[in-house]
Amino acid sequence: MTARWQSKPFEDCIEKVTYTTKIQRKDFLVVGAFPVVSQEDAFINGYWDGADDVFRAETPLVIFGDHTKVLKYIDFDFVLGADGVKLLPPKEFLVPKFFYYQLQTAQLDSLGYARHYKLLKELEIKYPDRAEQHRIVAILDAAFDGIATAKANAEKNLKNARALFESHLQSVFTKRGAGWVEATIGEVCAIKHGFAFDGVDFSTDVPKGNPLVITPGNFTENGTLLFNERNTKRFNGDTPVGYQFNVGDLVVVMTDLSSKMKILGKPAFVETDDVLHNQRIGRVVFSNDRVEKRLLYYFMMTEVFLKNIKGSATGTMVKHTAPKRIMSNVIPFPGNRDDQRAIISRLDDLRAETQHLESLYQQKLTALDNLKKSLLHQAFSGAL
């Protein structure tokens, strides 16, 4: 179906545009004639007005879902990346949006600050005549409008499911009944620092079977530990005595590599054997039986607790908390342990239901993404 299509290297498909004014970060605004893009924060920071040599401002527009995505369609008037990458207008034989859609089919998952343009230069752009390009664009536009609506609904439902659980969790510790008491976390447990492992002794290249080492990168926003191919690090040295977790241990992350602090202070349970206690990971060691472990876990997932942790955090880009700051938080709880267990049971049931709903909505989002990829593949293999 693509027998009549032509093919040209990426650089033969774009116009050469020169500019003499240096664009600096301090000049970034938001909306105008020509978008200025920063890969660092995934936003269009400003629009460069080529006619007046000034910036214009209005409302920001997200152009990357994450750092691996291609630019959102903006007619390709002129785009300058913060690292010097330029994406310039396509030549006359290409319909701009056809060019945009074809860029979305490129295998650019490993985009990095210094590699964007190098990877783009390696692309081979395939295209039919402009009439056929317009036809393909019209089909994709209509299909993607429907997909966008479906994704928006699924994302809204996903957000609502999470909000429902978070709201109920918050109410548990604010709408207290008879027999409730208060204590600082430090009065019921201690938060222990981990071992300062030498970074050369653990990496993603260590063979399976060696002990795992928890890092902040293993913590998730939903209060679990995640070990995958990208973030799993194993130890390749002599295991220090006293720094190995037991299954069921409660841990808390005390460093967040992001200034947005999405995981700072988040708790999790160790669910795997042979896991080592790394520095900047707090190990919760109970000093008495006043509070059920899982009730403390749920309290550490509340907005009140996490807001306190974030409010007392130190650091600029990398944020830190500390055992004393965690232990100074006051936890309300029923004095009766049976009442605590009843609360835990209700929260466990609601969380399981919420996670089931989240899984369904996430599967739908994944299916919609796959449908979009399939349509793009069909479009540029001549099957539409």
* Structure confidence at residue 362 as a pLDDT band (50, 70, 90): very high
pLDDT higher than 90, residue 101: no
Backbone φ, ψ for residue 135 (5° rounding): -60, -45
* Structure confidence at residue 98 as a pLDDT band (50, 70, 90): confident
pLDDT higher than 90, residue 69: no
Domain range annotation of the chain: 6-127, 129-179+337-384, 181-335
Closest CA to 47 of 22, 65, 26, 27: 27
* Structure confidence at residue 66 as a pLDDT band (50, 70, 90): very low
The reply to whether domains 6-127 and 181-335 share a CATH topology is yes
Between vectors from CA 83 to CA 82 and to CA 85, what angle results, nearest 5°?
95
The DSSP-derived string for 267-296 is EEE--SSSEE-BTTEEEEEESSSSS-HHHH
Please, are residues 265 and 202 in contact by the beta-carbon 8 Å criterion?
Answer: no
pLDDT higher than 70, residue 48: no
Q: Tell me the whole-structure pTM to 2 decimals.
A: 0.71
| CATH no. for 181-335 | 3.90.220.20
In this prediction, residue 35 carries a pLDDT of: 42
DSSP 25: G
Share of the chain above pLDDT 70, in %: 75
CATH topology of domain 6-127: Adenine-n6-DNA-methyltransferase TaqI; Chain A, domain 2 (3.90.220)
In this prediction, residue 55 carries a pLDDT of: 36
C-alpha 19/C-alpha 7 separation (Å) is 28
pLDDT in tens, 109-153: 544 434 456 667 788 899 999 999 999 999 999 999 999 999 999
Share of the chain above pLDDT 90, in %: 51
In this prediction, residue 83 carries a pLDDT of: 43
* Structure confidence at residue 60 as a pLDDT band (50, 70, 90): very low
In this prediction, residue 259 carries a pLDDT of: 76
Of 91-105, 197-211, 235-249, 307-321, give the lowest mean pLDDT range. 197-211
Q: Is 382 left (phi over 0), alpha (psi -120 to 50) or beta?
A: left
C-alpha 274/C-alpha 164 separation (Å) is 35
Closest CA to 67 of 12, 135, 134, 116: 116
Of 15-24, 39-48, 272-281, 337-346, give the lowest mean pLDDT range. 39-48
> CB under 8 Å to 87, separation ≥6 — which residues?
14, 71, 76, 79, 81, 120
Residue 239, CA atoms < 13 Å, CB-side half-sphere: 15
Which helix (H) or strand (E) element contains residue 360?
helix 337-379
The residue that leads in pLDDT, 239 or 312, is 312
Q: Where do we find the tokens 């650091």?
A: 315
pLDDT in tens, 216-228: 999 999 999 998 8
Calculate the average pLDDT of the chain. 79
